[in-house]
Structure 1
């Protein structure tokens, strides 16, 4: 499924952006309390203002912002909507309602509000920043990058856009560019917590866990009340196999924000990894309960069933519910397609992948998942077309590089496969992709039977064919974590073999 690890960061950033719309207001005591993070105090002051003047749109917007910051999302919507009733063409009020709708998991409606606000004020930087984050939450990363780039062109000080663009670029495998963006943001403001969070996550994605750890710790020192920083550090500890520290961080995150479903989902996945499946299931159930059966929490639990329990039928039930509740949610169809694929129903899976692509054409993973389904029904040409389509748009997208590489490996196109596997590793955007790329190279070496090419230097610390772990049939990605790809040789293909492969390729084309 498309990567959603940074969804909490996206949401928290979007809440931060909702405060920017009030930058031109006079500094009332209520606004001062709001900007200082004294949300309960701000709420009381705004309520007092509204008793005096129920039609004060700035007080209505302020009340909505305070409630939003207090995680009282359903209560934050009525004042935002009343403000819009009084001022239907006010871009600030549209932006505020969009912020609330995002927290209520109604991103399409949030996008509609921001589109209207931008029509009214097309050259307002913060509106493009906000829409960039909504696009990212919808998985429309190219559009997200465009909006953040426009925001930066309108206001060079739009530092949040550098962090947002870094996230979108990372999703598309543009890792170097993502690092450039977030490092620039940190150069401008070393204490910008959202940028520190983004930077830490990028390091995590590149399996640089030891470097990610102090970044999360620094973020926690600057903003110890941020539950998602604790959760992020928990993820790093988990990757470092320090599961007790990871669990402590997840527990702290939940202590700070006991009503936020993603935190329970994250802890549930850790507990599953620890073999505590009963507790893990309870955490995912708690997330669904807190989310009031929201589509996002159902999708998260469905993915948990897929990844950790192999209870594919239960996963399918959750995805079915999510689709019924949110028929315009691409991730729900994408997850259901994965469930059908796991249940050996690739033809039905293709229908869901088609729908996901129809709803969100820029979600690259939907094409690669459909490519896998096409392979399962014996249509490699269609699979290859999907992989190549993605790579035309985003040449660095690791799942598509892996999919195409495995197709080439099945046709004995060893050099082409190796090129794609190496590129997949170079541009992997999270640890799972890194491990998958390493596994692919391992499979390639086994297929090549490296021992047959003794005239070529094979500088491995061990003999591949004597390694029981590497040679076993049920090889897992985790088994190759210590394999240093820089030590692997160039693929040796002699002229006779190359001519034979070319002949086979011509025959296939004919």
Structure 2
């Protein structure tokens, strides 16, 4: 699943209500609480102008005058998030929550900072708390679901994406990620429908197009998958995975020359892509170009010495090149790495013990 960050902060900053002041004596000062609000509003204005360091200074001064100013803690945390000072942001959200335990935005903001720190379990709890306090806030459900997806709990993730979509039927990313959960659950037709909905809401959402192609391939709609890959690659030609996946689909459709072309393009973009080397080896085997197949499989093995399928393919190529000993060694290695068909090929070809 491709997870897309929708809101950098979750919620924007808001200023307190302005209060008119009559300043007849220039030397007088505002009461501390009012001066704190003035500094707070100045910090919000500076934040909106992306002057984050100056905004922090204003929030600092506001909190010096009014240490129980929950919104100042929240907005300083949000500003620190923008500055990638995630640990300090979490500390400020902690203070905001102590002062205002029912503020859903405090939990959501802290979850975003925790996630940035890699504290996934803590973020999951806070997203859940935000959704509990404000069930009609779709991003809380979405991000909670995304973390469940990363954990491999696809059924629970789908339930969260369901809630996000119920709250916000125009939430393209929620449709996309629910589709990915459906794919993981083997519900390919439902996945295709959700990817299609995401694309109808956001036609330039290219990851949805790429993932719909993969779902169509899994549903054995090779023609539809190729159409989606073609559309994607007409718009974005720097994605080695997209070329490899279209090559695999062409391979499945028996278009072996086209598959070789796609795997070759992928390797131009990423010469260290072991999967593409092995897949091109498989296509060369179908084209009976055994020398090229053996060379490509060897390249894949050089990049990943535990690549069982590459040993299998090199074994097949070596067999056709009359290198029986080399073929037997490769098949046995594939079996050793867990590919049971390696044992069968070795046995059927009369490979003796080493």
Range class of TM-score, shorter chain: 0.5 to 0.7
Please tell me whether the aligned partners of residues 401 and 424 of structure 1 are also in contact (alpha carbons under 8 angstroms). no
268, 272, 283: which one pairs with 1:463?
A: 268
CA 1:458–1:406: 2 relative to 1, 3 Å: closer
Correspondences of 1:121-160 after superposition (within 5 Å)? none
Correspondences of 1:249-398 after superposition (within 5 Å)? 251-258=53-60, 259=72, 260=75, 261-268=77-84, 280-290=86-96, 292=100, 294-306=103-115, 308-309=117-118, 311-398=119-206
C-alpha separation in 2, matches of 1:323 and 1:45: 43
CA 1:348–1:452: 2 relative to 1, 3 Å: same
Deviations 1:130-187 (A, max 9, x none): xxxxxxxxxxxxxxxxxxxxxxxxxxxxxxxxxxxxxxxxxxxxxxxxxxxxxxxxxx
SS across alignment from 1:327: coil
CA 1:408–1:440: 2 relative to 1, 3 Å: farther
User: Which one has the largest radius of gyration?
Assistant: 2
C-alpha separation in 1, matches of 2:40 and 2:135: 26
C-alpha separation in 2, matches of 1:370 and 1:283: 30
RCO (CA 8 Å, sep 6+): is it higher in 1 or 2? 1
Q: What is the TM-score with the length of structure 2 in the denominator?
A: 0.53
CA 1:365–1:315: 2 relative to 1, 3 Å: same
Cα displacement (A) at 1:381: 0.8
Cα displacement (A) at 1:68: 7.7
Please tell me whether the aligned partners of residues 158 and 181 of structure 2 are also in contact (alpha carbons under 8 angstroms). yes
CA 1:457–1:446: 2 relative to 1, 3 Å: closer
Q: What is the TM-score with the length of structure 1 in the denominator?
A: 0.38
- Name the counterpart of 2:245: 444
C-alpha separation in 2, matches of 1:454 and 1:324: 49
Deviations 1:200-254 (A, max 9, x none): xxxxxxxxxxxxxxxxxxxxxxxxx6234436xxxxxxxxxxxxxxxxxx54553
How big is the alpha-carbon RMSD for the aligned residues of Structure 1 and Structure 2?
Answer: 4.5
7, 13, 35: which one pairs with 1:4?
A: 7
C-alpha separation in 1, matches of 2:133 and 2:215: 37
Structure 1 position 227 matched with structure 2 position 227: no
CA 1:306–1:443: 2 relative to 1, 3 Å: farther
Unaligned ranges ≥5, structure 1: 19-38, 47-63, 74-102, 104-224, 232-249, 272-279, 427-436, 474-510
Q: Aligned pair count?
A: 240
Deviations 1:260-309 (A, max 9, x none): 232122223xx5xxxxxxxx333233245346453234223324444551
C-alpha separation in 1, matches of 2:275 and 2:246: 13
Cα displacement (A) at 1:440: 4.5
Please tell me whether the aligned partners of residues 409 and 444 of structure 1 are also in contact (alpha carbons under 8 angstroms). no
